[in-house]
Amino acid sequence: MFNLQSGVHRQRFPPRIKPAQAKQLKLRQAQSDKPIEIHKGHNDGITGIVVDNLNQTMISSGLDGTVIFWDFVTGSIITKTYLEGSAAIAMRYNSVSGLVSLSCDDLCIRVLDVETKKTVRELWGCVGQIYDHCFSHDGRWIVACSMDSVVRVFDLATGHLIDAFRTATCTNVAFSSTGEFLATTHAGSIGINVWNNKSLYAHIPSRQIDEDTGVIDLTTSIDFHAANQLAIESEQVNGEDAGDQTTSVSEIDQLDASLLTLSLVPQSRWQTLLNLETIRQRNKPIQPPDKPKAAPFFLGSTLTKGEKPANQAMIEPQDGAFAESDRSRISRLASQQPSTLRIASLLLSSKSDPAPLIDHLISLSPSAADLEIRSLTLTEMPIFVEALTAQLSLRKDFELVNTWMSVFLKVHGDFVGEVDRLREAVVEWKQAMENEEKRLSDMVGYTKGVVEFLRSAR
């Protein structure tokens, strides 16, 4: 080990035996009939080496089938793990979950916990040599490519194979730090293919797929149009039989009333609602569109279908009767009767049950939800805040409720001090939020204390 800045040698794994230690070993060897085992490193080539986040432990793997955990400071061996009948070919480390994955020559991916130094998962299914594998950004998945030209996605929480697609022989895989994209390289291709992560835009259940029928064949897709198949297809594609095997996670509203439950809405949607103004400013065109250089004085008329005689080209239809299909989008919208927003009717029923209002807001796009919140009247504002407070007391959709409240205060914050009922509703919301934060912090502190007690050496 060398210092990155000065280049000075710092440590050796294992460290060299000092002369005093060598004399003690000779004396112990002379007094004992059995040979004294001296801790050595690997007996064959080293295939992987990683260091944990805190620079406390270094892990190395070798072709001799051993995985050694080293003390980063002293260079001594903490423990040595033997892989049964296999050897590690490559090693990957995920700093979020504190897990180390090993792709072995027996076509298995073994996952070790750095803290307990034990194998926690064995992922089987690859056919042929495993070329490369990687963790997802949050440590939930492992993506592996093998000699059979199939890219597989394993769910670490369940150990299930949740997605598999066949392409040209994949040689390397890498996840982006944000989890939005997966980059792959393929044999015979000089380009890098980028795959979109579908789970960021829709809920994806971690149900195990069948290896024989669940592999999506993309070998005929030259331009990789099916890039959104990184996560498994929705249950509608698999049919009704797949839905009968396991209950969809989306059907579970809340496990327990005492638990603070988040929504199943993708993170990108409510984050877009929070930063909608910034996104609109960023997407504005830099310069106005250029006017055409020249245009004919008389433009062709498309008021009615079919060809017209030349003498009727400039005759306007009577009573302004245009064909509906020939109207522009703006003219069609202008001719329609103004429709009232649905949130106005839902607010009246939200006093008894806020569920319809919350379901309606969840179904809206970020821009539509922003429009609904901006369209609230002074009489509707207190009812809207009371509905969010009721949903907060139910401990459901916690991040969505906070997002809608943040947008409401950003848009209508000036009216809080002017309307008495609105001010009382906001104060009630604040009190409910403080109570929930205190309850949650107490639970987290208790859980942290129990975990620290169990992890401490006794």
Burial (CB count within 10 angstroms: exposed 0-12, middle 13-18, buried 19+), residue 400 = buried
48 by DSSP, 3-state: which? strand
Distance between CA atoms of 201 and 216, rounded to whole angstroms? 20
Query: For residue 309, what are its two tokens?
Result: 């005689």
CA angle 441, 447, 452 (to 5 degrees): 125
* CA separation for the pair 344, 346 (Å, rounded): 6
DSSP 103-121: EETTSEEEEEETTTTEEEE
Q: What is the pLDDT of residue 357?
A: 86
CA quadruple 440, 441, 443, 446: dihedral, nearest 10? 180
Predicted local distance difference test score (pLDDT) of residue 450: 87
Q: What is residue 360's predicted lDDT score, i.e. its pLDDT?
A: 87
Residue with tokens 């298995």: 108
Which residues of 204-325 form beta strands (DSSP E)? 216-217
Whether 121 has a pLDDT exceeding 80, the answer reads: yes
- In this structure, the dihedral spanned by the alpha carbons of residues 378, 382, 387 and 390, taken in order and rounded to 10 degrees, is 170
State the Cα–Cα distance between residues 74 and 441, nearest whole angstrom: 38
Determine the pLDDT at residue 153: 92
Let me know: does 63 contact 87? Beta carbons within 8 Å: yes
Do the beta carbons of residue 131 and residue 170 sit within 8 Å? yes
380-to-47, 373, 419 alpha-carbon distances in Å: 65, 10, 11
Confidence at residue 168, expressed as pLDDT on a 0 to 100 scale: 86
Domain boundaries, the chain: 125-237, 342-455
* Cα 178 from Cα 251, distance rounded (Å): 28
User: How far is it, in rounded angstroms, from Cα 227 to Cα 221?
Assistant: 10
Chain centroid to Cα 377, Å, comes to: 37
Neighbours of 412 (CB within 10 A): 18
How far are the Cα atoms of 13, 157, 243, 268 from residue 234, in angstroms, in the given order? 49, 19, 10, 19
As a whole number of angstroms, the distance between CA 182 and CA 196 comes to: 7
Residues 408 and 371: beta-carbon distance below 8 Å:
no
The alpha carbons of the chain give a radius of gyration, in whole angstroms, of 32
CATH of 125-237, one of 3.40.50.920, 3.30.365.10, 3.40.50.1380, 2.130.10.10: 2.130.10.10
| pLDDT tens sequence across 418-453 | 888 888 989 999 999 999 889 888 988 888 888 888
Nearest-angstrom CA–CA distance, 456 and 458 = 6
Q: What is the mean pLDDT of residues 72-83?
A: 87
Contact 236, 205 (CB under 8 A): no
Residue 298 is given by DSSP the state S
Is residue 172 a contact partner of residue 187, using CB atoms and an 8 Å limit?
no
Degrees to nearest 5, angle at CA 270 with 269 and 275: 100
User: Of 222-226, 244-248, 313-317, 427-431, where does the model show the most confidence?
Assistant: 427-431
Average pLDDT value for the chain: 78
Alpha-carbon dihedral 152, 157, 159, 160, rounded to 10 degrees: -60
pLDDT above 50: residue 230: no
**pLDDT tens figures, 29-59:** 677 665 555 567 888 889 999 998 888 899 9
pLDDT at 349: 67
Rounded Cα gap, residues 357 and 389, in angstroms:
13
- 335-392, pLDDT tens digit by residue? 444 334 566 677 766 666 788 888 888 888 888 888 888 888 888 888 889 888 888 8
Q: What DSSP designation does 2 have?
A: B
Dihedral sign computed on CA atoms, order 434, 439, 444, 450: positive
Q: Which of 313, 307, 324, 389 is nearest to 350 (CA)?
A: 389
Average pLDDT estimate for 91-102 = 92
Confidence at residue 220, expressed as pLDDT on a 0 to 100 scale: 54
**Alpha helices by DSSP H, 249-365:** 267-274, 276-282, 329-335, 342-349, 355-363
Q: Residue range 263-268: average pLDDT?
A: 81
